Amino acid sequence: MKTLIVIFAHSTVNDTVRRHWPWYLRGDCDILGVGRTNTRCEWPTERLIHSIDVGLEGYASGDNHILRFLETLTALLTDERYKAYGAFCLVEYDGIFVRPVPPIRPGTICAKLAGHRDGQFRGKSYYHTPWYLDRIMAGRILKYGFAMLKAGLIEGGFIDRWLGLMVDLYDIPIADTSTYTQNTIDTPAKIEQARTAIEAGAWYIHGIKTESQLINVTAGIVA
């Protein structure tokens, strides 16, 4: 099954996208860039099939990021340009691949467990990128996602929290991935954890915001 890497970005991280591009390529898949309709994202061309613009920059409304996510899934399932791809690995600009994307587990959301219920959030757990799914699961997320929006269940507009609530409400199969995640890998302890995860076989690392973080996490690995 052919997989497409889908990268969500915004205009203020164009430099980061360029810096990370050699690492996106290590996923060994074609790439689709997802920018914003009111700003300009810049994309290197190697393995980029093209780019699309979906949603406004920033939190234009509480559900802005969720609508952007759902509209992107709609494009992936309905646009003829993507019909050759049976699976989609959706990631954010601050993630890198250190190994090829593994085969998808059909009928399952493959994501990284990032934490559990806290504060005012309803979901039992929440899941960071990669959000890796096949076409059937993408269709289920569209169905349930729009129903949740209609009911006002948006978890503050955070996709990771919102997906966790969806898993609870609709009993969706979800599998933890061999990846590593933090909001930002910005301490020596987190850097060491990321490097340990890579040594243990992790294929994706999420939370790299700066050049120094990239260098420290990937030291000794050739992009």
Q: Is 23 exposed, middle or buried (0-12, 13-18, 19+ CB in 10 A)?
A: buried
Q: What is the pLDDT of residue 125?
A: 97
- Work out the percent of the chain whose per-residue pLDDT is above 90: 90
Question: Average pLDDT in the 183-188 region?
Answer: 98
Answer whether residue 59 shows pLDDT above 70.
Answer: no
56-65, 92-101, 146-155: range with lowest mean pLDDT:
56-65
Handedness of CA 184, 29, 174, 145 (dihedral sign): positive
Q: How confident is the model at residue 57 (pLDDT cuts 50, 70, 90)?
A: confident
User: Nearest 5°: phi and psi at 161?
Assistant: -75, -40
Q: What is the pLDDT of residue 61?
A: 58
For residue range 191-213, what is the model confidence (pLDDT) as tens digits?
999 999 999 999 999 999 999 99
Q: What's the token pair of residue 70? A: 């759902």
Q: What is the pLDDT of residue 208?
A: 98
For residue range 11-44, what is the model confidence (pLDDT) as tens digits?
999 999 999 999 999 999 999 999 999 899 999 9
Q: What is the pLDDT of residue 60?
A: 54
Question: Average pLDDT in the 136-164 region?
Answer: 96
Angle between helices 64-78 and 135-150 (to 10 degrees): 140
Question: Average pLDDT in the 70-78 region?
Answer: 97
Q: What is the pLDDT of residue 221?
A: 84
In 3D space, the residue among 173, 207, 11 whose CA is nearest the CA of residue 91 turns out to be 207
More confident residue, 141 or 118: 141
Q: How confident is the model at residue 64 (pLDDT cuts 50, 70, 90)?
A: confident
Output b/e per residue, 108-125; b: 16+ Cβ within 10 A: bbbbbbbeeeeeebebeb
